A = this chain, B = another copy of it.
Amino acid sequence: MITETIMVIDDDQDLRESIVEILEDDGYTVTACATAEAALQVLAEKTPRLVLVDNMMPGMGGMALLPLLKREYPATKIIMITAFSTVDNAVAAMRGGADDYLSKPFRRDDLLVAVRRALEVLKFDLQHEEPCMDEALTCLSNPIRRQILAALSVNGHMRFMDITRTLGISDHTKVNFHLKNLKTNNLISQNREKTYRLTPQGEKIIDCLHLLSKRISS
């Protein structure tokens, strides 16, 4: 009933097809690619939540693909597959952002165990969100607060009436209300000269807002 999509990236056709078969037999939906470059194309369309990638491939190898995947699709889990497996190799892969590591040759069960474990971790990840997420998102749910953050991001630091006038809001106490809200949530701070500015936290949030708008509108 519930099918999870998994991507397999391996230039070795035999191995690739055998992995696909094992996973499909176990009820997963599988997308297979022969090269990292082809995989990136597919990923841009539809992002699976788990990727199996071979270390050694012509063109872009698994190790080169790792940081790209981690940056672009941070939620996606990655299992690295290697033929000539050494400790250094494994450590490098894990440090590079792989979530698990399979040495060739592996048995059917090794593969399935690794896959299930990765998906379990994913489940856990998704259901235990950071507590600060709630505060941040509640803050952002109000357009005035977003405008204040945007204005501060543009202008660096502003005084109270600067903000009020920039937003074109006649009632200054309304702005004050939202400033207080942002202040208690540590997104902005106020120094001795009473000027407001973004905290590092606030800057991250603004950055995320940009990401959101780019992704949502595209």
Binding site for B on A (CB under 8 A): 2-5, 47, 49, 71-75, 122-123, 125-127, 129-130, 132-134, 136-138, 140-141, 143, 146-147, 150-151, 153-158, 201, 203-217
Q: Which residues of B contact A130 (CB under 8 A)?
A: 213, 216-217
Are A208 and B207 in touch, CB under 8 angstroms?
no
Whole-angstrom distance between the alpha carbons of A72 and B210 in the complex? 11
Establish whether residues A129 and B150, one from each chain, have CB atoms under 8 Å apart when the complex forms: yes
> Is A72 touching B74 in the complex (CB atoms < 8 A)?
no
Which of B127, B134, B211 is in CB contact (< 8 Å) with A208? B211
A3: chain B residues at CB < 8 Å are 156
Q: Please, how many angstroms separate the alpha-carbon atoms of A72 and B67 in the complex?
A: 11
Contacts of A138 in B (CB 8 A): 141
CB of B132 within 8 A of CB of A143, answer no
Q: How far is the CA of A136 from the CA of B134 in the complex (A)?
A: 14
| Nearest residue, chain B, Cβ from A129 | B213
CB-contact partner of A157 in B2, B125, B132, B211, under 8 A: B2
The complex places the Cα of A217 from the Cα of B135 at a distance, in Å, of: 12
CB distance from A186 to the nearest CB of B (A): 11
Chain B residue at smallest Cβ distance from A29: B156
Answer whether A127 and B154 are a contact pair too, CB < 8 Å, given A133-B216, A211-B211, A216-B132. yes
A2 to B5, CA, bound (A): 49
6 extra A-B contacts, CB within 8 A, seeds A47-B207, A75-B210, A208-B208? A75-B211, A126-B154, A129-B143, A134-B143, A137-B137, A140-B141
The reply to whether A2 and B137 form a contact with Cβ atoms under 8 Å apart is: no
For residue A4, which residues in chain B have a CB less than 8 angstroms away from its CB? 156
Q: Please, how many angstroms separate the alpha-carbon atoms of A203 and B71 in the complex?
A: 17
Contact A201 B213, CB 8 Å, known A71-B72, A73-B207, A206-B75: no
Do B214 and A136 have beta carbons less than 8 Å apart? no
Measured in the bound complex, the distance between the Cα atoms of B200 and A216 in whole Å is: 10
Note all chain B residues with C-beta closer than 8 A to A158. Answer: 2
A67 CB to nearest B CB, Å? 10
